[in-house]
Structure 1
Amino acid sequence: MLGLILWCDGAEGRALIWCEDHGDLAWYEAGSEEVAPVPVRTGDLVHVGVSAEPGLRRAQALRIVARGAHADLPRRLTREAAG
């Protein structure tokens, strides 16, 4: 599934992803199964697998499709929410 990185902490290998199915946001946290965390930035378009746990949707097997494809989206969403 495609997703967009809305927030990330590159040093910790964590990200919040808005997925194309418009379901709940997905949480990504680099795990031990990965050789190294995928270095993502806000606005990156990614391909992810998604699984559900009680109260949490997790993204895994993150792969970058396009760097910075929508880097301005978080700022635009914040501006729109402010009205």
Structure 2
Amino acid sequence: MLGVVLWSDPVDRKAVFWCEDQGDLAFYAAGPATDPCDGFLDAGDMVTFSTDIVGKLRKARDVTLVQEQVCADLPEKLRDTSQAPAKTPAGGKRILSFVSPSVPQVVHCQFRKRNA
């Protein structure tokens, strides 16, 4: 499966992937680095991986970096498109509001070409 890194912690060597199937996020925990100069994944990197369901979590394994910084601004774009919390009715009245959901916003990501 292909995915984009949404969050990573290079110290603990953990990451969260947004998956191409638009299903649950995949959580990744790498083993300790064998080389101290070995880099780790950054937000925006494109990866390929396999998944397993462990309990209620989708866990990634066999992770391979496809391309660095393919969509570096994806975490911010997703954060910016989140919905604002619902407003409390004015005047203290107990009115239940049935508002139809708004049309979901589309997140566009510009993919950069790999340097040859």
Q: Distance in 2 between matches of 1:47 and 1:35?
A: 21
- Cα RMSD after superposing both structures: 1.9
Verify the 8 A CA contact 1:4 1:46 in the aligned structure 2: yes
Q: Which has the higher strand share?
A: 1
Matches within 5 A, 1:55-70: 55-70=56-71
Which protein shows a greater Rg?
Answer: 2
TM superposition score normalised by structure 1: 0.88
In the alignment, structure 1 segments of 5+ residues that lack a partner are none
Matches within 5 A, 1:5-16: 5-16=5-16
Matches within 5 A, 1:1-40: 1-31=1-31, 35=34, 39-40=40-41
Tell me the number of residue pairs that the alignment of Structure 1 and Structure 2 aligns.
82
* Cα deviations by residue, 1:30-64 (Å, 9 ceiling, x for unpaired): 136x8567610000000011111111110011110
User: Structure 1 residue runs of 4+, over 3 Å off?
Assistant: 34-38
AA aligned opposite 2:79:
T
TM superposition score normalised by structure 2: 0.64
Higher relative contact order (Cα pairs below 8 Å, separated by 6+ residues): 1
Which residue pairs with 2:42 in the alignment? 41
Q: Distance in 1 between matches of 2:75 and 2:55?
A: 27
Q: Percent identity?
A: 37
Verify the 8 A CA contact 1:38 1:63 in the aligned structure 2: no
